[in-house]
A and B are shown apart, each in its own frame.
Chain A
């Protein structure tokens, strides 16, 4: 019953709902009104073993609620969930041995103790045999550059160091599934790159199934071949990232600083959005390259500076919503 054969998906979510009862104060009175919030409203998907999936959506869309149901922290109001063949909310403690979880905004490390002590606790709690523990710790230390940090109290670590420490803590027991809830939030570019490299390695070498929520589209682009978009508790999209841009008709923005103030420029393949002194914003389809655009502009006017802004996931989804 609990044995997963390789044909069975690692994560199976079927018509899952989560309804919260919320009491809200009625303005101007002491009365409270009860009403229901459908945080997750009938979601179905499966993730095969070894896949790396991005799970995105605006704040309050239901991402974290889904992850909490998949870990067993929350029990669903309806529908059926299976992770590694286990019903999460019913067998939470047993499932805990087979999954690893990293909440970007919440650390599991011990604030006042050296990083190493937190790992020792994990070793004992999960009853990890010594050789396996040593092997996994060595691998994490090497890939995440944790060596010099092991004997530093966690409170002295930077956010990026702590996040790397947290990710290592979630992997010491060889989980089959790894949930990452905004693992790159607040990190600088270098830390983000390190985390992404590491996740790619873990996925490739250990075949760990990864479900990743993020607000950073680059996380998805560099890591996930598949992306799921959730909004208002419903699955809006499930497929490749290119498809998402096509569906969402999303645009990237080229921000150009000209040498002096100009009237709105017109270039083929781009649309003028706004001007602010010598700076202008031009939108172009996310699938297109910025290079011909820059060449065309530079040929006509002297440029001082330019940058390309990626479409925010919120915008992509907002467009999808409009298109649907």
Chain B
């Protein structure tokens, strides 16, 4: 039935697809923001709660350092550097497509149907689903911690290191986005894989806030080669901080983030399309 391999792409993969997706995403986001604003008090409270919760998160690390000098050989500013980069990248991805885990619900109750009837890419609509501006709290908090870390940390600011920092943040966000999309695609088959997805996204973001040295080597291998979260901040951060990498990978790997992120996005995109194709909807 699906004889021509690129036949299905004709509709969705026209040159303007990315622009069309962004446009649709913005349209849907705007609707959600207006919906949220119809419950203004609730919005203010959850936004404040969110910010407070993430702020407390870093406080636990600060408290830890009141008892120890170093964590996995890292000083507080260095851990703050890891925390800031991981939190900012993850916060960006969470802000952009944090509602992907709601897809399972839509698949189970069949409300995905209504999204599939619109003349815009489904992925853009699902990513924008339940868009919540309050998630900006994590990005702000990540940037604040990163700012403090940059002020206190001892980095030799070569041109390369200066350029690597913003690239790292963007690459990290892209990798987390890919994880969100892959997790979303998986829910077409699994029905509800939200918790598996959360363990990789939220769990991964927490993992990356600590130096790789404090974790078992196999775990570090896993997040380097299986789900390449190490490229979010560990590898480039270790270079910037002048630390050896516990896996002893060659130096060029520290710069492989962008291509790795591209591959992740491409793979998750393919997975997504396969997922949409296998969508079964519900009874009526």
Choose among A75, A92, A101 the residue that contacts B11 (Cβ–Cβ < 8 A): A92
Counting contact residues on chain A (CB < 8 A from B), the size range is 35 or more
What sequence of 0s and 1s flags, for each residue 99-116 of chain A, a beta carbon within 8 Å of any chain B beta carbon? 101010111101111000
A73 with B31, Cβ < 8 A, contacts A92-B116, A103-B113 known: no
Given contacts A113-B34, A117-B31, 14 further A-B contacts (CB under 8 A): A68-B281, A73-B113, A73-B116, A90-B2, A90-B8, A92-B11, A93-B120, A94-B119, A97-B119, A106-B110, A110-B35, A121-B28, A124-B27, A125-B24
Asked, given contacts A110-B35, A113-B35, whether A74 binds B114 with beta carbons under 8 Å apart, the answer is no
Count contacts on B: residues with CB < 8 A to the other chain.
Answer: 31
Q: Is the CB of B114 within 8 A of A103?
A: yes
Contact partners of B35 in chain A: CB under 8 A: 110-113
| B280–A74 CB distance below 8 A | yes
Contact B280 A90 (CB under 8 A): no
Encoded as 1 (CB less than 8 Å from any B CB) or 0, chain A from 15 to 33 comes to 0000010000000000000
Contact, CB under 8 Å: B281 / A73: yes
For B38, give its contact among A72, A105, A113 (CB under 8 Å).
Answer: A113
Which A residues lie within 8 Å of B10 (CB)?
90-91
- The chain A residue sitting closest to B11, CB to CB, is A91
Query: Which of these, B31, B118, B279, contacts A113 with CB under 8 Å?
Result: B31
Contact of A96 among B28, B38, B117 (CB under 8 A): B117
Q: In the assembly, what is the distance between CA of A182 and CA of B283, in Å?
A: 13
- Tally A-B pairs: CB < 8 A: 81
Q: Is B284 an interface residue (CB 8 A)?
A: yes
In chain A, positions 62-80 with a C-beta closer than 8 Å to chain B are 64, 68, 71-78
Q: Which residues of A contact B28 (CB under 8 A)?
A: 121
Residues of B within 8 A of A97 (CB): 119
User: Taking the nearest CB of chain A, how far is it from the CB of B131, in angstroms?
Assistant: 13
Chain A residues near B24 (CB-CB < 8 A): 125
Near A by CB (< 8 A), chain B positions 226-284 give: 277, 279-281, 283-284
Chain B contact residues: helix, strand, loop or mixed: loop
Tell me if A59 counts as interface (CB < 8 A to partner B). yes
The answer to whether residues A59 and B284 also contact, given A94-B119, A106-B110 and a CB cut-off of 8 A, is yes
Q: Kindly list chain B residues whose C-beta atoms are within 8 Å of the C-beta of A321.
A: none
A90 nearest CB across to chain B (Å): 5
Residues A74 and B279 in contact, CB atoms below 8 Å apart: yes
Indicate which residue in A92, A99, A125, A181 contacts B27 across the interface (CB closer than 8 Å).
A125
Q: CB within 8 Å of A: which residues of B?
A: 1-2, 7-8, 10-12, 24, 27-28, 31, 34-35, 38-39, 110-111, 113-114, 116-121, 277, 279-281, 283-284
A20, B11: Cβ atoms closer than 8 Å: no
Which of these, A93, A106, A111, A112, contacts B12 with CB under 8 Å? A93
* Nearest-neighbor residue (CB-CB) of B12 within chain A: A93
Distance of A77 Cα from B28 Cα, bound (Å):
33
A126, CB-defined interface residue at 8 Å = yes
Residues from chain A with a CB closer than 8 A to the CB of B277 are: 75
**How far apart sit A301 and B121, CA to CA, in the bound complex (Å)?**
68
Closest to B112 in A: A73
Assess the B120–A74 pair: CB atoms within 8 A. no
Is A93 a contact of B279 with CB atoms below 8 Å? no
- CB neighbours (8 Å) of B11 from chain A are 90-94
Most buried by A among B39, B111, B119: B119
**Interface: A292 (CB within 8 A):** no
- B2 neighbours in A (Cβ, 8 Å): 75, 90
Question: In the complex the two chains form, is A20's CB within 8 Å of B117's CB?
Answer: no
For A182, list chain B residues within 8 Å (CB).
Answer: 284
22 contacts between A and B (CB under 8 A): A64-B284, A68-B113, A71-B116, A73-B116, A73-B117, A73-B281, A75-B1, A75-B2, A78-B1, A93-B11, A93-B121, A101-B117, A103-B113, A103-B114, A105-B284, A106-B110, A106-B111, A107-B114, A113-B34, A117-B31, A121-B31, A125-B119
Q: Is A50 an interface residue (CB 8 A)?
A: no
A147 within 8 Å of B by Cβ? no
Q: Are A125 and B113 in contact (CB under 8 A)?
A: no
Closest to B116 in A: A73
- The residue that B119 contacts in the complex, of A75, A110, A117, A126, with Cβ under 8 A, is A126
Q: Which residues of B contact A106 (CB under 8 A)?
A: 110-111, 113-114
Asked if A60 CB lies within 8 Å of chain B CBs, one says yes
Q: What residues of chain A lie closer than 8 Å to B116, measured between beta carbons?
A: 71-73, 92
**In the complex, residue of chain B having the shortest beta-carbon distance to the beta carbon of A91:** B11
Q: How far is the CA of A36 from the CA of B132 in the complex (A)?
A: 41
Contacts of A71 in B (CB 8 A): 116-117
CB-CB under 8 A from A90, the residues of chain B are 2, 7-8, 10-11
Q: How far is the CA of A173 from the CA of B117 in the complex (A)?
A: 13
Which of chain B's residues have a CB closer than 8 A to the CB of A59?
A: 284
